[in-house]
Structure 1
Amino acid sequence: MFADPTGGGATAFAAVFAALYAAHQVADHWVQTQHQADCKSEPGWAGRIACAAHVVTYTATAGIALTVLILATGLRLDPWGVAVGLAVSAVSHYIADRRTPLRRLAELLGKDPHWLARGGGMYALDQSWHTGWLFLAALFCAA
């Protein structure tokens, strides 16, 4: 996937993943408004709009992080790869934060309902879902 046989591609991937992961932490825990956090999984248009608003600020935070990375290091990334990577991140983030798809997947995999509801299970599944998709997003961005 990477054209640079000297390891530059792997270095770019590592830098991009670190930037996206840092942006994820900031956007999900600091940038997201309380209203977005409270309403993004609600049914209907109010929930969809709150989730979309969160994903917009989340994606903007990722874009800022990548811009800072590029300016600070001189890293060159293909704009189309970055666009695809950010789209992968945004779509997967929206799916997870609507909650129903993750809950259904967790139930299908036999996750304990008590752990999901009160043991931090949904948060753990949410964050691990995001991290896995950030890995794929970083591959696109750095390709």
Structure 2
Amino acid sequence: MTPSRAARTAAVLAITDHVHTWADYWGQKDTDAKAKGLAGAEGRAACARHVANHTAHLAAALVAANGLLGLRLRPARLAAGLALAAATHYVADRSAGHWADPEPSTYLVRLAHKRGKQGWVQADPGAGPHLDQAWHRAWHLLAAAVIAR
């Protein structure tokens, strides 16, 4: 029996959400976490390593779940959804360490300021990480829909 698209999407989203949290914190190398927001080649490389590691965690979990749960995910859709998750993850994580900058210097920090979040971001050191995680989770919903299609 083929699971419905809705069931596949829900399963993929649940797996992606939980594995994301693991990969973003426990799976991330400390050196990459510290450097991923730096300007220049060092920051870009650290962010790319983190995103590659994060994406590998997601891919492994989804491939395993596909076999164990019989989700019948298509490889091309899986690749497309993971690419979406990876690209948006990179965009967000380049903001690491920049949330409280007086002048927004990254895409996500500029977006937060445009959405009226600058006061919260300036006053609360936890605001940036919350906005970062909300960004990731919203894109994971779209990635899950792509993967499950």
TM-score, length-scaled by structure 1? 0.91
Q: Distance in 2 between matches of 1:75 and 1:105?
A: 36
> What runs of 5+ residues in structure 1 fail to find an aligned partner?
1-5
User: Does residue 104 in structure 1 map to residue 110 in structure 2?
Assistant: yes
**Closer, same or farther in 2 for the Cα pair 1:96/1:23, shift >3 Å?**
same
2:101 maps to what in 1? none
2:128 maps to what in 1? 122
State the Cα deviation string for residues 63-113 of structure 1 (Å, max 9, x = none). 011012112112101111111100000000000000111111111122134
Let me know the Cα RMSD of the aligned residues: 1.4
Report the 3-state secondary structure (helix = DSSP H, G, I; strand = E; otherwise coil) of the residue aligned with 1:32: coil
Q: Distance in 2 between matches of 1:18 and 1:133?
A: 13
1:79 maps to what in 2? 75
1:48 maps to what in 2? 44
Report 1:1-80 matches (<5 A): 8-80=4-76
Runs of 4+ in structure 1 over 3 Å off: none
Report the 3-state secondary structure (helix = DSSP H, G, I; strand = E; otherwise coil) of the residue aligned with 1:110: coil
Report the 3-state secondary structure (helix = DSSP H, G, I; strand = E; otherwise coil) of the residue aligned with 1:31: coil
2:141 maps to what in 1? 135
- What is the letter of the counterpart of residue 4 of structure 2? G
- What is the letter of the counterpart of residue 53 of structure 1? R
TM-score, length-scaled by structure 2? 0.88
Using the TM superposition, give the Cα deviation of residue 136 of structure 1 relative to its aligned residue in structure 2, in angstroms. 0.4
| Larger proportion of helix | 1
Q: Distance in 2 between matches of 1:91 and 1:82?
A: 14
Using the TM superposition, give the Cα deviation of residue 117 of structure 1 relative to its aligned residue in structure 2, in angstroms. 4.0
Using the TM superposition, give the Cα deviation of residue 118 of structure 1 relative to its aligned residue in structure 2, in angstroms. 4.7
Q: Distance in 2 between matches of 1:25 and 1:103?
A: 21
> What runs of 5+ residues in structure 2 fail to find an aligned partner?
96-105
Contact 2:9 2:144 in 1 (8 A): yes
